[in-house]
């Protein structure tokens, strides 16, 4: 943007007279809109997902059946692709995704194979025997660029970081595995003027919005729980700190027999759409895999794996 302004200014100074036909600001390609048509939703009964007492008639208005919505994050100490510049954000957890669990905790995956953009599906065959073909088309980065959402792409590169493979393959995986099972991102919700991939952009915006509600690093640091390779924390300390700011106990995931902190999942019911609605926090429906008796390591990342992003 700065270089574009500089170029226009140099054109201005080179011509002594500003002609009436010169428009300001200079015309830029229009940015396509990326929201569903929720007009019909204003007449739907107000209810949190999984708490409706009558059938939700229009599934664009409330995520169903995936009404138990999880905002999930990772704590990592390296990416494995440091040499390619894929680094972790300093002083922040990273995005995993936004998942539609069914109200009973089970879940669906890869629900619309016409929107299969995942180059490395996991699983490769669904429980019902349907294969999930590997995607070989253009990267989801090209989808984001087609909508001129360089701001979104920049944020995703900073905070939605993969381990052992490139970031865009992870973003594609999350969309095709999970968003295709979230009814408020169904193609039909975008109406007859649907522009291909606007649901993808809309989902990525929703993921970022949900992630920003949970600054896990800051919530822990604010009570003195900082990454350390010298001291451990108890599960209760970690849970209490997060509960004090969210009103619910999230799921904490640990590796190495419950001794190394790796993940957090925040649970919700959502009033309205997943894109714009209100998220109500709920206690985790899954027991923590972190030890209740041993100390838990919240490791400092490898210094060369981290960059300042703020």
Ligand X SMILES: *[C@@H]1O[C@H](CO)[C@@H](O)[C@H](O)[C@H]1NC(C)=O
Q: Is 195 in the site for ligand X (CB under 6 A)?
A: no
Q: How far is the CB of 10 from ligand X (least distance, A)?
A: 41
Which range binds ligand X by CB under 6 A, 13-21, 25-33, 207-215, 294-302?
Answer: 294-302
Q: How far is the CB of 291 from ligand X (least distance, A)?
A: 11
Q: Is 304 in the site for ligand X (CB under 6 A)?
A: no
Q: Is 19 in the site for ligand X (CB under 6 A)?
A: no
Our answer to whether residue 263 is catalytic in this structure is no
For residue 73, the surrounding DSSP H or E stretch is strand 68-74
Among candidate residues 33, 82, 96, 269, the one labeled active-site is 96
Q: Which of 285, 290, 282, 301 is nearest to 237 (CA)?
A: 290
Residue pair 168/200 in contact by the 8 Å Cβ criterion: no
Residue 25 or 303: the one with the smaller Cβ distance to ligand X is: 303
Residue 135-174 contact track with ligand X, rule CB under 6 A, x = bound? ----------------------------------------
Which range binds ligand X by CB under 6 A, 34-42, 119-127, 202-210, 233-241?
Answer: 34-42
Our answer to whether residue 178 is catalytic in this structure is yes
Residue with tokens 């599960």: 235
Neighbour tally for 87: CB within 10 Å: 20
Residue 39 or 114: the one with the smaller Cβ distance to ligand X is: 39
Helices (H), the chain: 2-14, 140-146, 150-159, 167-178, 198-212, 216-221, 235-246
Q: Is 283 in the site for ligand X (CB under 6 A)?
A: no
Q: Which of 133, 257, 278, 295 binds ligand X (CB under 6 A)?
A: 257
Structure-block tokens of residue 54: 């009558």
- Spatial neighbors of 148 by CB under 8 A, at least 6 apart, are 29, 31, 32
Residue 50 or 200: the one with the smaller Cβ distance to ligand X is: 50
Residue pair 174/125 in contact by the 8 Å Cβ criterion: no
Structure-block tokens of residue 16: 């002594």
For 247, which DSSP code?
A: S
Our answer to whether residue 96 is catalytic in this structure is yes
Q: Is 300 in the site for ligand X (CB under 6 A)?
A: yes
Residue 244 or 292: the one with the smaller Cβ distance to ligand X is: 292
Buried b (16+ CB within 10 A) or exposed e, 9-45: eeeeeeeeeeeeeeeeeeeeeeeeebebebeebeebe
Cα Rg for the chain, rounded, in angstroms? Answer: 22
Considering only residues 40 through 69, tell me which ones interact with ligand X, judged by CB under 6 A: 40, 52-56, 64
Contact set with ligand X (CB under 6 A):
37, 39-40, 52-56, 64, 77, 191, 193, 229, 256-257, 287, 299-300, 302-303
Residues involved in catalysis: 96, 174, 178
């Amino acid at each position: 943007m700065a270089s574009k302004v500089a170029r226009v200014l140099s054109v201005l100074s080179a011509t002594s007279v500003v002609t009436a036909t010169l428009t300001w600001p200079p015309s830029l390609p229009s940015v396509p809109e990326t929201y569903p048509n929720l007009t019909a939703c204003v007449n739907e009964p107000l209810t949190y997902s999984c708490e409706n007492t009558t059938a939700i008639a229009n599934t664009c208005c409330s995520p169903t059946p995936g009404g138990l919505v999880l905002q999930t994050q990772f704590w990592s100490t390296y990416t494995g692709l440091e040499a390619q510049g894929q680094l972790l954000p300093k002083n922040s957890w990273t995005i995993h995704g936004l998942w539609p669990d069914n109200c009973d905790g089970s879940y669906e995956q890869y629900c619309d194979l016409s929107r299969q953009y995942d180059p490395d599906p996991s699983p490769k065959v669904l429980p019902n025997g349907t294969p999930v073909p590997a995607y070989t088309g253009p990267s989801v980065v090209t989808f984001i660029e087609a909508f001129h959402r360089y701001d979104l792409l920049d944020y995703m590169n900073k905070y939605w970081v993969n381990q052992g493979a490139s970031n865009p393959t992870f973003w594609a995986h999350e969309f095709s595995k999970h968003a295709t099972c979230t009814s408020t991102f169904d193609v039909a919700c975008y109406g007859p003027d649907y522009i291909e991939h606007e649901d993808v952009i809309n989902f990525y915006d929703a993921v970022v919005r949900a992630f920003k509600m949970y600054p896990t690093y800051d919530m822990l640091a604010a009570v003195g729980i900082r990454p350390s390779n010298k001291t451990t924390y108890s599960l209760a300390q970690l849970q209490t700190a997060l509960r004090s700011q969210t009103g619910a106990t999230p799921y904490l995931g640990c590796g190495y027999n419950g001794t190394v902190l790796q993940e957090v999942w925040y649970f919700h019911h959502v009033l309205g759409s997943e894109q714009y609605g209100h998220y109500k926090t709920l206690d985790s429906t899954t027991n923590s895999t972190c030890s209740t008796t041993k100390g838990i390591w919240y490791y400092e990342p490898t210094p060369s794996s981290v960059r300042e992003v703020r």
